Amino acid sequence: MTARSRQTAPRRGQRPRGGRPAPARRRTRGQQRWTAVVAAVIVLAVALVVFVGVRAAGSNDYEGTGNGQVQLVRVEEGQSMSELGPHLVELGVVKSEEAFESAAYLAPGASSLMPGFYRLEEEMSAEAAVEALMNPDNQVDLLQVQGGSTLKDVTVVGGDTRNGIFTQISELSCAENQDDCLDVEDLENAAANADPKALKVPEWARDAVEDHKGDERRLEGLIVPGDYIIDPKMDAEEVLAELIGNSAGHFEKLDVVSRSKAVGLEPYELLTAASLVEREAPAGEFDKVARVILNRLDEGMRLEFDSTVNYGLEEQEVATTDEDRERETPWNTYAKEGLPETPIASASDDAITAVENPAEGDWLFFVTIDQDGTTVFNDTFEEHQQDVIEALENGVFDTNRAEPGGEESGAGEDEE
């Protein structure tokens, strides 16, 4: 007689021997309802915290859109909306940091704040301040320096006047601060006489700038093309120092000190040559004009660029006169050897790169031969003269000047 093995009941959740797995416990309807209730309570609690926070902030907040007293608020690159709170309280724009931070937290798009100056008013509600900062119409206009821009205004013979950098700064300053704004004379005086080091002129340009003390044009070319924020509360020297300091950092990133050596120029000479490229070369021909400049310098030839003649004139146009080309100035390359003593315009990165990496060629001459801007390059003076005749026939060098006594006005050797 054999003994039967004793079977014991499986423990809860244990799989019975030889049987199917124990079924999982099902949540009762009561448990599901309880879970939903807990989730709802959590949501309501969060909402209550936000609501209480907003109400609490509201008790420490101004009402309305301001009292009419404008305050300019600067937003730095990468600065968040909430980081502005302490400064806005200090200026009297908002009443408390808490109210402003709550309003910023609830505002969609508040994280996409752009750098610049914004016009706000004192005693604004936090919500109104946030909305004002998100409205591009409240942003102060930027100073826009283009490639080829000059410090002083340029008047075209028989035409309009193009505002220079000094005038642009003055207009931006006076638009925001009528009672105590910068005028052009303030800027010219600072440019002519301030210490180059205080103006943050790059070390490699300081000697040249110091040599031309008393001339406001000695800073020409040291403000690179780009968009700049102008603080209307700064004085003339501070504004120029900020612009030139930012530009000096840009030159350092371009590594003009090292790269100028590759073409046998000093950094300041490279900048000066690039300014000629900017003023002389049509689009797409920067590297060829750069090659002509370097070839002529290597050959010991005068550059004879009409842009350098025009730079010293009250009124300018492509055609220059014999009298103008004979005038001795620090820039006139018909009357002096080598490069101008200073740049004649702000040079773009493209113009600087063209001088650092000129096209391959033996060209010594170039001229624009039609109104479409077609420019041709030649190795010999004879070929160049034929192209100049074509340019004259096409009216490229027509003048709007009232010419006295048959004085010749026309093209130099290399002009567009």
Q: Looking at the DSSP assignment, which residues form a beta bridge with residue 72?
A: 119
Read off the pLDDT of residues 11-63 as tens digits, 9 standing for 90 and up: 544 444 444 555 545 555 556 665 665 566 565 554 555 455 545 444 799 99
**Can you give the residue ranges of every domain in the chain?**
70-140, 145-363
User: Where is pLDDT greater, at 267 or 373?
Assistant: 267
Query: Which pLDDT does position 33 carry in this prediction?
Result: 63
Work out the mean pLDDT of the chain and round it to a whole number: 86
Query: Which pLDDT does position 110 carry in this prediction?
Result: 80
CATH class for domain 70-140?
alpha beta
Q: Is the pTM of this model over 0.85?
A: no
Residue count of the chain: 416
pLDDT at 196 over 90: yes
pLDDT at 405 over 50: no
Poorest-confidence range of 134-138, 164-168, 394-398?
A: 394-398
Percent of the chain with pLDDT over 70: 82
Query: Which pLDDT does position 107 carry in this prediction?
Result: 87
Query: Which pLDDT does position 82 carry in this prediction?
Result: 86
Q: Which residue, 132, 78, 128, is CA-closest to 103?
A: 128
Mean pLDDT throughout 351-368? Answer: 96
Read off the pLDDT of residues 121-157 as tens digits, 9 standing for 90 and up: 999 999 999 999 999 999 988 999 999 999 999 998 8
Task: Compute CA 7 distance to the chain's CA centroid, rounded to the nearest angstrom.
Answer: 88
Read off the pLDDT of residues 293-335 as tens digits, 9 standing for 90 and up: 999 999 999 999 999 999 989 888 888 889 999 999 999 999 9
